[in-house]
Chain A
């Protein structure tokens, strides 16, 4: 059981989706506050990492690791940001998994649906079910 929680931010920095699986301890912040802090951290880390880089960066910030969990980050060139918290050594490629979420779950169920406004939190149950399927069947989740 190694995936804890998952955030999607849109380009404006709004958290449009959040879900957790095995998160036993909460941050103690209210949810909105937590989203804001997470987004603030991403922005800050991105700019810090780029500033400190001794050579030209391509992908830049990819995540960070603590002794208990690992934060995995994936951003599309269009500014969608995915954050996945897993255990320290996830068995599998987390970037690959996040890209799959983008391509196989978010794209067909949300982005291609013209009735969905991308500025608002995702409420689609199809999206939720597909995401659940993908995450639960990934090697990272099972091990």
Chain B
């Protein structure tokens, strides 16, 4: 059970089939829509769920990648995020692109997005406001917050928005959260 290396193989119990994952996520979002009946509320819930997942996923990530230490700048964070974190959890490597001039904001292009595979939206336009992959944004925000990086993370385009065939996530650096020092210990 306890494997020390970060290597994955077919019998790895932490891996599940791509299709099963996509379909499970689809029915999960469907259920949320049925339960909340309000697209904005569903977006919020997906974000919160992702955030809570991110809070714990970061520990898994750090434990399995002990050589990764604190990033020296935001560009390094982007690299680690796309090349290692996404690879480990989703098996994909999104493209890091569209940096702004001050290098504190970038986009991740997820193409193809494993979450939106096989997904079709009925009644064109009805779900235009739904942020289907919002859970990823929440997870990024939650995970980075645990390593003292406060970011804003939004879904810029997704498969159900307009004619987009890929998913773009915009990540903006906000601040570095300082170590909390308990009262009376300074």
Contacts and interface: CB of A to CB of B under 8 A. Distances in A.
Nearest to A46: B179
B180 A76 contact: no
Given A39-B182, A59-B69, A103-B4, A78 B60 contact: no
> Majority SS of interface residues in chain B?
loop
A112 interface: yes
Nearest to B143: A78
Interface of A: 11-13, 36, 39-40, 43, 58-59, 76-80, 99-100, 102-104, 107-108, 111-112, 114
A104 B64 CA distance: 10
A88 to B, nearest CB: 26
Given A36-B185, A111-B60, A77 B68 contact: yes
- Interface residue range, chain B: 20 to 34
A40 B185 contact: yes
Contact of B147 (A78, A102, A107): A78
Nearest to B63: A103
Interface of B: 2, 4, 56, 58-60, 62-64, 66, 68-70, 146-148, 179-182, 185
B59 A76 contact: yes
A33 to B, nearest CB: 12
B179 A79 contact: yes
Given A13-B182, A58-B69, A103-B63, 14 more contacts: A11-B179, A11-B180, A12-B182, A13-B180, A39-B182, A76-B63, A77-B62, A77-B69, A78-B62, A102-B63, A103-B4, A103-B64, A107-B60, A108-B2
